């Protein structure tokens, strides 16, 4: 009986193996689905959101300035656009009146995911 249990155990272990040739190769173009949607740019999509929701408080005057692409990109690269406008973390959501509509937040997230192009 012990031999039978040992044989079944070994048989089960052997059947759980896999062929390494069946695994996807990292970087293999056939296993990665590329993004095929529109490119979200600062000039065409994001600037109007920033102008309408942020620059009244974060214009060219002191503190955090979001008046130019370079300033917005700097904040985006530091993770602050994501943290404040999208997640509402920190000292509170931005803008202070409440989070922007989900479609706006999605556009900002896509822009950040694409590397924040101008």
CB neighbour list of residue 64: distance below 8 Å, 6 or more residues apart = 58, 75, 80
Peptide bond before 96: cis, by omega within 30 degrees of 0?
A: no
Higher-confidence residue: 65 or 21? 65
> DSSP letter string over 83-108?
IIIIT--SSS-SSTT-PPPHHHHHHH
Among 2-16, 18-32, 63-77, which stretch is predicted with the lowest mean pLDDT?
A: 18-32
Report residue 47 CA to chain centroid gap.
19
Is this structure's pTM higher than 0.75?
Answer: no
42-73 pLDDT per residue, tens: 999 999 999 988 888 888 766 789 999 999 99
Enter the tokens of residue 114. 């694409």
Token readout for 84 is 């404040």
């Amino acid at each position: 009986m012990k031999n039978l249990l040992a044989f079944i155990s070994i048989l089960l272990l052997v059947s759980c193996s896999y062929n390494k040739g069946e695994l996807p190769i990292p970087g293999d173009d056939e296993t990665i689905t590329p993004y095929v949607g529109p490119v979200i740019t600062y000039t065409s999509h994001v600037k109007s959101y920033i102008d309408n929701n942020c620059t009244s408080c974060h214009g060219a005057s002191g503190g955090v300035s979001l008046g130019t692409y370079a300033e917005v990109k700097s904040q985006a690269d530091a993770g602050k656009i994501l943290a404040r406008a999208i997640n509402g973390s920190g000292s509170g959501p931005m803008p202070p009146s409440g989070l922007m509509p989900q479609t706006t937040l999605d556009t900002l997230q896509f822009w950040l995911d694409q590397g924040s192009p101008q």
